[in-house]
Amino acid sequence: MYALLLSVVVRLYEIKWFILGLALSQYLARRVGRAFGNLARFDGPWLAHVSDLWLLKTIYQQRAHYVFYDIKKKYGKLARIGTNKLITCDIELVTRMNAPRSEYKRSDWYLGFRLAPGIDNVGSLRDEKEHTKRRAQMSPGYTGRDGIDFETTIDKHVENFIHLIRTKYLSTTTSFKTMDLAEKAQFFTIDVITDLATGAPFGDLTSDADQHEYLRTATEAQPAFVMISSIPALTKIIQIPIIGKWLFPTSQDKIGMGKMMGIAEEKIAERFDPDSRRRLEKSDIMQSFIDNGLTQQETLSESLLMMLAGSDTTASAIRATMLCILTSPLTYQKLQAEIDTASLSKPVVRDAEARKLVYLQAVILEGLRMHPPPGGLLPRVAPPDGDLFNGEYLPGGVEIGVNTWGMLRDEDLFGPDPEMFRPERWLEIEEWRYAEMARVVGLAFGSGRFKCLGRGVALMELNKIIIEFMRNFDWAVVDPTKPWKEANVGIILQREFFVRVTERSPRNILS
């Protein structure tokens, strides 16, 4: 059945202009009037004043983050990108929309986070009370308060990654090998999150293969899904159970998301069945969800979202941070020197030790600032009575998306060179400025009631893997003029990031 879904979405993607034109033509006439209505005073591309075609074209091109940054430079921090849509990179407004008691709500765009028709998860819930309740139930699992040993689990997969490089991908003076860091980074993150979630990793690193073809099928389907989710009317249609059951993956599928669903379904059913419930050898996030009151269906939905989102975003952050390091010789040398002279645990550094490395933390924060994983708009809907912000009236019901790329290049906060990767901007500055810069970088992972629950796990993975990469190996990008292929499909993903890895000579390691 998943093959059917994949063929359908790929076909929709191939006939994109017909589908887009058909879906929007019925709205165009009445939306033209909006060009001269409440949003007429906001600047933006001329087509965006009368149609959503401009936005859909931008999303289709998979370079939306660059386009939105250009919008900021041309039209300012609050601009128009659709008939009833604005985009902002105003830090204060983004914080205001995400605040715990804010009257801004999630838009219909979030329906695209549903992984089964009509079944919500914490990423798609728009009811504020239900969303708050769900987050409270899930928080102990993501923070480790239920006795989950995050660090030992992550360490195991860091060691697996280092072993894989050493046994298959090392180059020497007489042998040249390339490694696709984009692929291997995702193998690492999917193994980590499936192990933390269910106690059983997929095993992508140990097999050096895309188990169940999950990554391949997800990559092929994501462009079509992001297009469909950008047309709320179409999203609502496929969310109708009688229609969605023919399009969404199912647990009977042999590959991809459906296969993942089948594995999760089996494990969850076992834990809910009193007759077959087994004693867990170690606690995991899935069990925490159950212990904190999630139903069987809710546990399945949240576990799948966690494995999907937790893998993609962290892999994107690892790739981007490594590219920044490898293309900045000064940063490379200073970071490796800091790691070499520090007293760090072996074979894998402890997270607490990594957090004390000042330059490492500057590199990670700067990498996240330069290449934040989120690429979607994450739109909020203004309160019914509208809102007055900095003297500007925002009409009730208008959707306001977040220009993450533009927000993290705010010159007033980050300095006059925001387009440059420069970790030194985080050093020798006042504590309040460092804290504010770090807070704003954190906005890329949400804040307030929308703060990413898995952020702590992702940062622990980054701390450990960057250190072990740098103290064990020397790295070079195979083609610096074209280091990777990049696509914005709601999350900014990279493919074909080919690198050359060599063993570090003991005489080059200071400790």
pTM: 0.89
Q: For residue 240, what pLDDT is reported?
A: 75
Question: For residues 233 and 218, what is the distance between their CA atoms, to the nearest angstrom?
Answer: 23
- Annotation: binding site: 452
Q: 430 CB contacts (<8 Å, ≥6 apart)?
A: none
- Domain limits for position 167: 2-508
Integer CA distances (angstroms), 193 to 136, 153, 396, in order: 20, 10, 40
Question: Which residues in the chain come in under a pLDDT of 70?
Answer: 1-37, 244-246, 249, 251, 275-281, 506-511
Q: Considering its fold, how many domains does the chain have in total?
A: 1
Tracing tokens 């291997």 back to the chain, one arrives at 184
Assign residue 96 the CATH number of its domain. 1.10.630.10
Q: For residue 65, what pLDDT is reported?
A: 96
Q: For residue 80, what pLDDT is reported?
A: 97
- Annotation: binding site for heme: 452
Angle at CA of residue 110, ends 284 and 81, nearest 5°? 140
Question: For residues 127 and 135, what is the distance between their CA atoms, to the nearest angstrom?
Answer: 12
What pLDDT digit, counting tens, does each position of 127-163 carry? Answer: 999 999 999 999 999 988 888 899 999 999 999 999 9
Helix (H) / strand (E) element for 486: namely strand 485-488
Strand runs labelled E in 61-135 = 78-82, 85-88, 105-106
Q: Report residue 163 as tokens.
A: 């072993």
